Structure 1
Amino acid sequence: MTSNESPRPYRLGVLHGDGIGPEIVPASVLAVDAAVAAAGAAPVQWVELPLGRSAIDAHGSAVPDSTLKALGDLDAWLLGPHDSAAYPEPHRSRLNPSGTIRKHFDLFANIRPATAFEGADAVVPGTDLVIVRENTQGFYADRSTYKGTGEFMPSPDVAIAMGIITRPAVERIAREAFELARRRRRKVTIVHKANVLRLTTGLFRDVCLEVAADYPDVTVDDFHIDAMTVHLVRRADEFDVVVTENMFGDILSDLAGEIAGSLGNAPSINASADRAMAQAAHGSAPDIAGRDVANPTAMIMSSAMLLDWLGGRHRDDALSEAADLIRRGLAATVRSGTLTPDMGGTAGTRRFSEAVAAAIARP
């Protein structure tokens, strides 16, 4: 949609999840509503759907079929964290809720920024990078097979896991990374372990380098995963876009989030060409659930990423402006000293969320 057309209403799903999810997801809804109003976009139509332990109790499944069907009719959705490790069997042993949704909609790109806020502590001030993580293959058991698991035990004393890397999957995630780099600082770092995993991560590295040839305006380098952890700790502020396979991306994005200030600030979206899901990179933190101390920043920033994705997909300038308003509102709130406990402050979840919404709406 161009800026001279009437704004279209977007229908976004809301899945609160477990633990702190029912606290941080409403904070994101509050921020989105404030931002779309301030940007002159059409109000969002929110659709709440069951997911997680409450869905098990009410529907007999952590992700009911009715939820998956409803998600397919929506523009995008917000997914709160889940605590699948605490589910009763047989639900605990099944694919977790985010994995179920990701696999069902082939959300192949997990985009995880790490940005240091002015006014908050960071291990490396000035960090502003994005981990682009291939989300459908690699070494995690739930992503190695169409059905079942890529992890098995031929005997009680032997455990085996498969790692899958394919050229088509690497090509599409590499293009996501290079296209993103063109919108940022035009630098891509490929992370692999080709000195040991020569065939699998070697293929990942080589295909990324082949794709790089189509982007001569983007600078490219590469590092082994172990070396990359050291580089992040020492000089995270020098990296722009980092592309890697699934497990490496999971580890590096948690590290980068903490380096930038707090894992509570680490957002992400999971996306395909036509679907996207906002999901904070952190877990459900059941130990602090219901205490009004959870940091909603990651979920709010994930929602901003979702608006950006929708704005780009539908050429809707108002949504892109709303995403920018959320980021500015968050930055202004942190600069003002309104911080949650994990960021060194005393503000509760609700007070922090209301301060962000007020900063967004302020002229």
Structure 2
Amino acid sequence: MTGTRVHAYRLGVLLGDGIGPEIVPSAVAVVDAALERAGVEPVEWVELPLGADAIDSHGAHTPESTLDALAGLDAWLLGPHDSVAYPEPHRSQLNPSGTIRKHFGLFANIRPAKALPGGNAVVDNTDLIIVRENTEGFYADRNTHAGTGEFMPTPDVAIAHGIITRAATERIATTAFELARTRGKKVTIVHKANVLKLTTGLFRSVCLEIAARYPDVTVDDFHIDAMTMKLVRKADEFDVIVTENMFGDILSDLAGEIAGSLGIAPSVNSSATHAMAQAAHGSAPDIADRNLANPIAMHLSSAMLLDWLATRNDDERLRGAAKRLEQGVAATVTAGTSTRDLGGSASTTEFTEAVVAAIHAS
């Protein structure tokens, strides 16, 4: 039965660094407005230490106390981090988002790229989702049980492992095909099997095996280099794109810009039991504390998180709140209010207030 939860959802708030303390509270404000409009009890927000402030207060960018607390929450919002600015040894460690993803086994990184009306898209009508495998591939910091998978046998030689497994590929491919069934019923597999024959060759082969279980979904595949070219001109022809870790990171940044700006690029990292909303962009320290940041990516990431919670808890009220949030963002941009990266002049605060007003008016 839907809508029978007897206590409020408890969501974690991890502000992060740079523009994080501006865009995460902005997301909290629009989520609260959407929940209220949808008739859902107010969320209990639990703020936890993370990032540079946590290094100062707890001696770690992602304290064990934070990880322990996250385990007891329904889901959480993660702001961007500026790990390259951390002092050593913290700078050389697995960064905060990687630490959380690895700790909770968040194997699926779902990254939509959708053009907003009046949002300065390179390719109009772009509406695709990149499904990125999040635990292995060619990102050395995520593909080993211990250590980073990267080492230097001599000062002049650096080596990184690139790992692809059948199990991880099967679960991300299944995620992609299940998602495609709710959208345009098309999946594109991206790989480099002509050169990386064993690793991305295995990724392509396993994805095609999973495709056979979904006869209602059209499937094709492209090499990563050809895919970047096709996205620039024909992004509107793609629906769901599934790929390994590093390729997915590169493609999602490109797709975000094609849709209008990396500032509107959302994502959710999830497993079957945990999920984390995280904007696809970085911490933008050059505009931090200036009330200039575009909070759309964090807004839409939060909407994706509400949708994930709706499915996990069989709570259609949350799905309604997610839809209202998405519509509030789109209505605000369509009405001509946007931050400067989209060609507007609104501050972070002004844009947030406009989205909240649009949600209440819906």
**Cα distance in 1 between the residues matched to 2:143 and 2:183:** 32
**What is the deviation of 1:8?**
4.1
**What is the deviation of 1:144?**
2.0
Per-residue CA deviation, residues 69-127 of structure 1 (Å, 9 max, x unaligned), is 00000000000000000001111111100011000000000000000000111110100
In structure 2, the partner of 1:196 is 195
**Cα distance in 2 between the residues matched to 1:6 and 1:140:** 39
**Cα distance in 1 between the residues matched to 2:183 and 2:41:** 28
Q: How does 1:148-159 map to 2 (within 5 A)?
A: 148-159=147-158
**What is the deviation of 1:357?**
0.8
**Cα distance in 1 between the residues matched to 2:160 and 2:11:** 37
Of 142-151 and 230-239, more deviation after overlay is shown by 142-151
**Cα distance in 1 between the residues matched to 2:5 and 2:263:** 36
Q: Is the 8 A contact 1:7 1:42 kept in 2?
A: no
Q: Is the 8 A contact 2:33 2:356 kept in 1?
A: yes
| 1:97 aligns to 2:96 (yes or no) | yes
Alignment-mate amino acid for residue 22 of structure 1: P
In structure 2, the partner of 1:177 is 176
**Cα distance in 2 between the residues matched to 1:79 and 1:347:** 24
In structure 1, the partner of 2:261 is 262
In structure 1, the partner of 2:120 is 121
**What is the deviation of 1:7?**
5.9
**What is the deviation of 1:158?**
1.1
Q: Is the 8 A contact 2:94 2:148 kept in 1?
A: no
**Cα distance in 2 between the residues matched to 1:84 and 1:156:** 24
In structure 1, the partner of 2:225 is 226
Identical positions, percent: 73
Question: Equivalent residue of 1:346, what SS?
Answer: coil
Q: How does 1:1-363 map to 2 (within 5 A)?
A: 1-3=1-3, 5=4, 8-363=7-362
Per-residue CA deviation, residues 238-267 of structure 1 (Å, 9 max, x unaligned), is 100000000000000000000000000000
**Cα distance in 1 between the residues matched to 2:83 and 2:157:** 26
Question: Equivalent residue of 1:77, what SS?
Answer: strand
Alignment-mate amino acid for residue 270 of structure 2: A
Q: What TM-score does the superposition give when structure 2 sets the normalisation length? A: 0.99
Q: Is the 8 A contact 1:7 1:41 kept in 2?
A: no
Per-residue CA deviation, residues 257-300 of structure 1 (Å, 9 max, x unaligned), is 00000000000000000000000000000000000100000000
What is the RMSD computed on CA atoms of the aligned residues?
0.8
Alignment-mate amino acid for residue 195 of structure 2: V
**Cα distance in 1 between the residues matched to 2:144 and 2:130:** 24
Question: Equivalent residue of 1:148, what SS?
Answer: coil
Q: What TM-score does the superposition give when structure 1 sets the normalisation length? A: 0.99
Q: Is the 8 A contact 1:270 1:279 kept in 2?
A: yes
**Cα distance in 2 between the residues matched to 1:61 and 1:161:** 25
**What is the deviation of 1:141?**
1.2
Alignment-mate amino acid for residue 67 of structure 1: T
Alignment-mate amino acid for residue 281 of structure 1: A
The number of aligned residues is 362
**Cα distance in 1 between the residues matched to 2:250 and 2:6:** 39
Alignment-mate amino acid for residue 121 of structure 2: A
Structure 1 moving runs of 4+ over 4 Å? none
Q: Is the 8 A contact 1:271 1:277 kept in 2?
A: yes
Q: 1:15 to 1:231 in 2, by over 3 A?
A: same
Alignment-mate amino acid for residue 275 of structure 1: H
**Cα distance in 2 between the residues matched to 1:358 and 1:26:** 16
**Cα distance in 2 between the residues matched to 1:300 and 1:7:** 26
Per-residue CA deviation, residues 171-192 of structure 1 (Å, 9 max, x unaligned), is 0000000000000110000000
**What is the deviation of 1:149?**
1.5
Gaps of 5+ in 1: none
Q: 1:292 to 1:311 in 2, by over 3 A?
A: same
